[in-house]
Amino acid sequence: MDSIIFYCIALFILISGLLAVTARHIFRAAIWLLFTLMGIAALYFWMNVFFVAAVQIIIYVGGIVVLIIFSIFLTQQAGQKMAVTSAKQSVFSVAAVLFGIAFIASIIGRFYFVGRSETLNDSVNTIGTQLMSFTNGYALPFELVSLLLLAAMVGSILIAMKHKTENKNN
């Protein structure tokens, strides 16, 4: 029963992922991307890591996809289709992808992981105390990432801002 659910989730993720990279309308591709990310959140729920699943839904589905859809509205004429990739290019891309999958498959097939059945304690309390612990935690990377977010925010506002001289010329 458990593995049937896993196969359903995996099939859903792979099909919507394929449609996300092949759909001709970019808006439809964004919606398929949304379904893929929801499927990945479902996979995290299946793995019983609820905090991770919640973060996935909040940040990816609620944040990044919405951002992408907004920018599609800002940069795309309605109903415009994307250019078809040439047959030569898609053949070479498929060949590259198959080569990559074969390479990774040879690595995965060589290992047999001995898993453990202990349950992972992923309550928010444990995650917070271990993340910010000063002895073996990630306090410094945490602060660096917050700086990075601030820099990215300021930088993207600066880049996307309309300059005054431009307005006069337009």
Partner 1 sequence: MPEVLQKILWLSTALFFIGVYGMLTRRNMLAILMSLELMLNSVNINFVAFNKYLHPEKLDGIFFFLFIVTIAAAEAAVAIAIIIHLYRYHKNIDVGETEEFKY
- For the segment 94-113, give every residue that binds partner 1 (CB under 8 A): 94, 96-97, 100-101, 104-105, 108, 112-113
Enumerate residues 49-88 that contact partner 1 by CB under 8 A. Answer: 49, 51-52, 55-56, 59-60, 63-64, 67-68, 71-72, 74-76, 82-83, 85
d(CA 59, CA 40): 13
Q: At closest approach, how far in Å is the CB of 130 from partner 1?
A: 5
Residue with tokens 């891309």: 93
Using alpha carbons only, how large is the chain's radius of gyration in Å? Answer: 21
Helix, strand, or coil (residue 119): coil
- Token code pair at residue 10: 């995996």
Cβ distance 65 to 33 under 8 Å?
A: yes
For residues 7, 97, 30 and 4, what is the CA-based torsion angle, rounded to 10 degrees? 0
**Per-residue contact string for residues 14-53; x = within reach of partner 1 by CB under 8 A:** x--xx-xxx---x--xx--x--xx--x--xx--xxx-xx-
Is residue 124 within the footprint of partner 1 (CB under 8 A)? no
> CB of residue 129 vs partner 1: minimum separation in angstroms?
10
- Residue closer to partner 1 (CB basis): 79 or 112: 112
